[in-house]
């Protein structure tokens, strides 16, 4: 039986009208988009779950902050407010704003990686993997075995496999490991949390071998909330205390602030105390992002981000936020639709491999399900599977992903219970005709991050 829906800890003060479309209109839109969800026009999507990045609803305090933003080119008040917020929450000496998470990776990663080097992560997300490869290095995923079975109930499926991590370091040589990346929550594994003990153990291995530890911190607050719910050692701590301990074990963090900081644009690099590294980061930031005190952002963005960093820590908000995922997951439980369980932080990751077992990985079952959801109800989701993984950079062959997930990434403070019921109803309708759904093939793709641009066509067999 579906869980009781968690009531919103806010009132709706402004609304945005969204367009209703017919199946015929959606079919035409899919063809025009070459069956790539990123090519669809946003206005043609009734419920847009493509990403929870930058699609969130800011608060009245953040919008008031937009009006207060200091637009000085150098040393504006909003910059100092953001730096102080970052230092207070994360406990790091140096905080560098950038325009989004991939900019943080572009600035930092080439300082740690290069040809012949490796980055090891509990799982690299798409842009993270791309920036590892753009730096000339190679990415290795090292997620715990429990994550690979979506039906298994385990509280910390985002964890690093620490035994495998140490084995990989010894296999490739510690001098060749440019960094270890701990992604919290683990997006590619289904928004799954990482246990505090696992972060500590990973940090101990990095310290043992003298390897840099970076946190991919896009969903820092959701990880902290799930730790408070599931980790006995965190149960009696505040969200802020949990976050400060999480980050105390790492050397740096890169963050897309467009997620848990509830803004439409922004990112951060945090450096614990390495002044030489900070000097190099500042130089690259000036070259690629703009002067250090704005980092590719307007003063109003800096102001909204400083406020959002704190709003994302509110426990009433986090209870509601995770409660939305739990409600949708419970509806899928009732319908016998598999997903990465237990549900994670920022979305529900439906197991397309199980729903569409007749479609092989090289015909992209998760992308096929995403297309079908748009066709059925105007819902835009995305593939977290072999289509997103792309081709091996050395062999050019299609990589088979550990998972074939269709991700329902729920924007923060945007959709209501009625919208979530539509999501569940659409999946139930698709399940009833699942065997009629066909796979897809790529007709054109760029060399990197192909899923953002590729063209596909349905297979006829």
Note if 212 is an active site residue.
Answer: no
**Residue 395 in tokens:** 């062999």
Whether residue 339 has a cis bond before it, omega within 30° of 0: no
Given the residues 4, 73, 358, 392, select the one marked as catalytic.
73
Given the residues 44, 52, 70, 126, select the one marked as catalytic.
126
Note if 218 is an active site residue.
Answer: yes
Note if 351 is an active site residue.
Answer: no
Q: Which residues contact 78 (CB under 8 A, 6 or more apart)?
A: 68, 69, 70, 299, 300, 302, 303, 306
| Burial of residue 244 (number of CB atoms within 10 Å: 0-12, 13-18, 19+) | middle
Cβ(448)–Cβ(133) below 8 Å: yes
Note if 451 is an active site residue.
Answer: yes
Note if 126 is an active site residue.
Answer: yes
Cβ(109)–Cβ(135) below 8 Å: yes
Given the residues 218, 250, 329, 434, select the one marked as catalytic.
218
Given the residues 81, 117, 259, 272, select the one marked as catalytic.
259
**Residue 206 in tokens:** 């990095």
Whether residue 342 has a cis bond before it, omega within 30° of 0: yes
Given the residues 125, 156, 278, 317, select the one marked as catalytic.
125
Catalytic residues: 73, 125-126, 216, 218, 259, 451
């Amino acid at each position: 039986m579906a869980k009781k829906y968690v009531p919103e800890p806010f009132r709706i003060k402004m609304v945005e009208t969204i367009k209703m479309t017919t199946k015929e209109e959606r079919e035409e839109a899919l063809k025009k988009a070459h069956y790539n969800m990123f090519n669809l026009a946003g206005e043609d999507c009734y419920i847009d779950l493509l990403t929870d990045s930058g699609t969130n609803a800011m608060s009245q305090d953040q919008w008031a902050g937009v009006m207060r933003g200091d637009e000085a080119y150098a040393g504006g008040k909003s910059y100092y407010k953001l730096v102080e917020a970052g230092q207070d929450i994360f406990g790091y000496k140096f905080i560098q704003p950038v325009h989004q998470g991939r900019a943080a990776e572009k600035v930092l990663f080439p300082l740690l990686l290069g040809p012949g080097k490796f980055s090891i992560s509990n799982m690299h997300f798409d842009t993270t993997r791309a920036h590892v490869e753009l730096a000339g290095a190679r990415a290795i995923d090292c997620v715990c075995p429990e994550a690979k079975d979506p039906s298994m109930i385990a509280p910390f499926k985002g964890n690093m496999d620490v035994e495998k991590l140490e084995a990989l370091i010894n296999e490739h040589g510690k001098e060749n490991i440019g960094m270890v990346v701990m992604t919290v929550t683990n997006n590619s594994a289904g928004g799954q949390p990482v246990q505090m003990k696992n972060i500590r153990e990973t940090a101990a291995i990095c310290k043992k071998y003298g390897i840099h530890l970076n946190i991919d911190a896009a969903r820092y607050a959701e990880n902290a909330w799930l730790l408070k719910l599931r980790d006995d050692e965190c149960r009696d701590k505040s969200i802020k205390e949990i976050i400060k301990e999480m980050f105390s074990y790492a050397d740096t963090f890169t963050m897309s602030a467009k997620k848990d900081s509830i803004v439409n644009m922004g990112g951060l690099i945090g450096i614990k105390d390495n002044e030489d590294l900070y000097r190099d980061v500042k130089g690259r930031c000036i070259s690629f992002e703009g002067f250090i005190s704005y980092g590719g952002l307007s003063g109003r963005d800096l102001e909204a981000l400083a406020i959002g960093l704190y709003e994302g820590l509110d426990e009433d908000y986090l209870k509601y936020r995770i409660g939305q995922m739990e409600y949708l997951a419970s509806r899928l439980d009732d319908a016998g639709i598999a997903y990465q369980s237990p549900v994670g932080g920022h979305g529900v990751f439906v197991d397309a491999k199980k729903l569409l077992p007749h479609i092989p990985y090289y015909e992209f079952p998760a992308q096929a399900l995403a297309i079908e959801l748009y066709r059925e109800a105007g819902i835009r989701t995305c593939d977290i599977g072999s289509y997103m993984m792309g081709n091996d950079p050395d062999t050019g062959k299609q990589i088979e992903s550990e998972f074939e997930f269709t991700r329902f990434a729920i924007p923060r403070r945007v959709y209501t219970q009625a919208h979530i019921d539509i999501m569940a109803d659409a999946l139930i309708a698709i399940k009833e005709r699942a065997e009629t759904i066909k796979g897809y093939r790529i007709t054109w793709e760029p060399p990197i991050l192909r899923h953002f641009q590729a063209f596909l066509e349905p297979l006829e067999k």
